[in-house]
């Protein structure tokens, strides 16, 4: 106890202390890997024994110099320690006792977390042997041959590629982007990693599931294919490789609720991560690391030690970047970089560009056609409304976007596009000009939502989980709107010409 040690009873006849400075200690070693110092004293000896046997019922001691509990401590109490005031020493002993109890609670919590991770990995490791074997036996092929147009921004993976083919497509993208060859990836490890990540997403979550992860990874594949020269000159090979992995893992084990809900509900995840911010994103990263720590899934095992550490840093930064709160914080820096030019030799610019790419990939559903957008909106609002229902059950009042009775979807979508998606893809287009096609589709979808808003007004459009606007031929309405605008401009121009002509005639007569 006098050395700030973790102290416990041994068969109730001895006090045993292992000296430590805090943190988790392996049996027989301290946190530096050295053998811990162990102190054993009889239970009825010294100050620690007095505290232990009297359960803190300490009688007043007039003099520490003459008190027998000090004199029986032998080598553990020096003359200097005897000269300490007893009140100070008593407080010191009690504080260390409490520290000992807290340390044990920390150890128990660490073991619970370890057990939870083991349980999660156990369930995710129940991979189909037949599926693993089938994927390993196939030759990797160019995805463009199997899915023509998959390398274009207009390609819609959700409505084109069967769910059962998604992992196979991921493996082929790894191959086509050169990651397997460049990093000497073991195919058995890569297959198990990909399948384990897929199983790490919850099927009961309507939007933030494996389909979303697959779509996000596909958009980064599109960036690499369509902006190959820019990406090669602006990002390192390791950054590109890890970013593709981050896209696959960025929402793993999402529960269908956002950070605010986790914090307000005082969930287990909030208790672990709320002090650091980005609760769900930190959980996604932790789950990804848990998968990588499994020997059969560690696709980073072929990296050198310094590359491995760098890869984990990139992975963490990229996953945390998908928190929109983080995106808004760095928006000013992104605008400055866009206006003043990207500097490949600036480490901060690398980090900012990766953050922007991750946010763009995360929002990439907004770059697809109208049918895809309706599917996504239905899934997303089902998730939002489920959270709103939970908040109401807890006695709270969900905000309008999460409230199935108050949500005005067209208006909210327009606001989201104006304030989040359009600025994001505009910056991406400035830095990677070959992504301009994606920006144009976002702009078009913004106009489509405006047409819907004009048609439905304030009427609720979500009925039994489906958007009740599919009967609207939005593109035809948009085309008619454009024609009306053109006719109006023509009429205004003709009136102006007639007015000018009349004025000229009048001046001529005068």
Q: What are phi and psi of 149, to 5 degrees?
A: 90, 0
Query: Is the distance from CB of 270 to CB of 280 less than 8 angstroms?
Result: no
Kindly report which listed range (34-38, 315-319, 325-329, 380-384) carries the lowest average pLDDT score. 34-38
The set of catalytic residues is 208
**Six-digit token pair at 309?**
């550490």
Helices then strands, each counted (H, E), the chain = 25, 5
Say how far apart CA 324 and CA 210 lie, in whole Å.
Answer: 20
Say how far apart CA 8 and CA 97 lie, in whole Å.
Answer: 10
Tens of pLDDT, residue by residue over 141-161, are: 788 888 999 999 999 999 999
Under the banding of pLDDT at 50, 70 and 90, the label for residue 498 is low
Collapse the DSSP code of 288 into the 3-class scheme (helix H, G, I; strand E, B; otherwise coil) and give the result. helix
Collapse the DSSP code of 17 into the 3-class scheme (helix H, G, I; strand E, B; otherwise coil) and give the result. strand
**In this predicted structure, what is the pLDDT of residue 480?**
87
**Six-digit token pair at 224?**
């690499």
pTM above 0.85, yes or no: no
Please report, rounded to a whole number, the percentage of residues in the chain having pLDDT higher than 90: 58
Strands 14-18 and 466-467: unpaired
**Six-digit token pair at 106?**
């920390």
Long-range contacts of 329-334 (CB under 8 A, 24+ apart): 330/355, 331/423, 334/427
**In this predicted structure, what is the pLDDT of residue 110?**
75
Collapse the DSSP code of 115 into the 3-class scheme (helix H, G, I; strand E, B; otherwise coil) and give the result. helix
Contacts of 77 (CB under 8 A, 6+ apart): 2, 46, 47, 70
**In this predicted structure, what is the pLDDT of residue 11?**
46
Computed over every residue of the chain, the mean pLDDT equals: 84
Residue with tokens 């463009």: 144
Question: Measuring CA to CA, how many Å separate 388 from each of 266, 271, 324, 415?
Answer: 16, 21, 20, 20
Question: Measuring CA to CA, how many Å separate 61 from each of 16, 108, 122, 414?
Answer: 25, 37, 58, 75
Collapse the DSSP code of 8 into the 3-class scheme (helix H, G, I; strand E, B; otherwise coil) and give the result. strand
Tens of pLDDT, residue by residue over 5-60, are: 444 444 467 777 655 444 444 444 444 344 455 667 777 776 667 666 765 455 55
Element (H, E) at 40: strand 38-42
Under the banding of pLDDT at 50, 70 and 90, the label for residue 295 is confident
Query: Is the distance from CB of 44 to CB of 21 less than 8 angstroms?
Result: no
Say how far apart CA 93 and CA 56 lie, in whole Å.
Answer: 10
C-alpha torsion angle, residues 491, 495, 500, 502 (rounded to 10): 140
How many other CB atoms are there within 10 angstroms of residue 168's CB atom? Answer: 21
User: What mean pLDDT is predicted for residues 476-483?
Assistant: 86
Tens of pLDDT, residue by residue over 236-276, are: 999 999 999 999 999 999 999 999 999 999 988 888 888 88
What's the length of the chain?
A: 510
**In this predicted structure, what is the pLDDT of residue 2?**
40
Say how far apart CA 299 and CA 317 lie, in whole Å.
Answer: 18
pLDDT beyond 50 at 73 = no
Paired strand residues for 237: none
- CA angle centred on 425, ends 421 and 426, rounded to 5°: 110
DSSP state letter for 492 = H
Collapse the DSSP code of 32 into the 3-class scheme (helix H, G, I; strand E, B; otherwise coil) and give the result. coil
Q: What is the DSSP track for 207-275? A: SSSHHHHHHHHHHHHHHHHHTHHHHHHHS-HHHHHHHHHHHHHTTTT--S--HHHHHHTT-HHHHHHTT
3-state helix, strand, coil in the chain (%, to 5): 65, 5, 30
């Amino acid at each position: 106890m006098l050395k700030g040690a973790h102290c416990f009873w041994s068969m109730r006849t001895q006090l045993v202390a292992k000296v430590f400075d805090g943190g988790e200690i392996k049996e027989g070693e301290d946190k530096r890997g050295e053998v811990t110092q162990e102190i054993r004293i009889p239970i009825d000896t010294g100050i620690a024994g007095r505290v232990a046997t009297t359960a803190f019922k300490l009688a007043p001691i007039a003099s520490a110099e003459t008190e027998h509990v000090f004199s029986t401590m032998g080598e553990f109490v020096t003359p200097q320690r005897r000269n300490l005031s007893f009140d100070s020493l008593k407080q010191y002993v009690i504080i260390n006792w409490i520290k000992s109890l807290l340390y044990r609670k920390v150890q128990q919590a660490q073991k619970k977390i370890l057990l939870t991770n083991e349980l999660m990995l156990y369930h995710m490791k129940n991979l189909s042997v037949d599926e693993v074997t089938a994927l390993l036996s196939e030759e990797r092929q160019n995805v463009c041959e199997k899915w023509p147009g998959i390398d274009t921004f207009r390609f819609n993976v959700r409505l084109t590629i069967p769910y059962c083919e998604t992992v196979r497509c991921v493996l082929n993208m790894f191959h086509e982007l050169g990651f397997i060859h460049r990093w000497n990836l073991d195919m058995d490890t890569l297959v198990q990693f990909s399948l384990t990540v897929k199983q790490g997403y919850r099927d009961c979550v309507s939007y933030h599931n494996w389909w979303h992860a697959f779509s996000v990874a596909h958009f980064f594949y599109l960036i690499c294919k369509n902006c190959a020269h820019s990406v090669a000159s602006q990002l390192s090979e390791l950054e590109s490789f890890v970013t593709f992995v981050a896209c696959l893992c960025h929402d793993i084990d999402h529960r269908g609720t956002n950070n605010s809900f986790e914090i307000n509900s005082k969930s287990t995840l909030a208790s672990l991560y709320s002090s650091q911010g980005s609760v769900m994103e930190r959980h996604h990263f932790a789950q990804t690391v848990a998968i990588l720590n499994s020997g059969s899934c560690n696709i980073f095992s072929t990296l050198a030690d310094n590359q491995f550490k760098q890869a984990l840093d990139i992975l963490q930064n990229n996953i945390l970047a998908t928190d929109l709160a983080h995106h808004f914080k760095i928006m000013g820096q992104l605008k400055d970089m866009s206006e003043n030019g990207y500097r490949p030799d600036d480490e901060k610019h690398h980090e900012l560009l990766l953050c922007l790419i991750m946010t763009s990939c995360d929002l990439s559903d907004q770059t697809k056609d109208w049918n895809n957008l309706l599917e996504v909106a239905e899934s997303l609002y089902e998730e939002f409304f489920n959270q709103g229902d939970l908040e109401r059950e807890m006695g709270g009042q969900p905000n309008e976007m999460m409230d199935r009775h108050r949500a005005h979807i067209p208006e909210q979508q327009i606001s989201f596009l104006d304030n989040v998606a359009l600025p994001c893809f505009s910056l991406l287009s400035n830095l990677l000009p070959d992504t301009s096609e994606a920006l144009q589709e976002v702009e078009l979808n913004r106009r489509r939502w405006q047409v819907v808003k004009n048609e439905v007004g304030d009427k609720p459009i979500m009925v039994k989980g489906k958007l009740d606007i599919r009967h609207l031929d939005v593109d035809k309405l948009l085309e008619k709107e454009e024609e009306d605008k053109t006719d109006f401009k023509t009429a205004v121009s003709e009136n102006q010409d007639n007015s000018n002509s009349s004025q000229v005639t009048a001046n001529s007569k005068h």
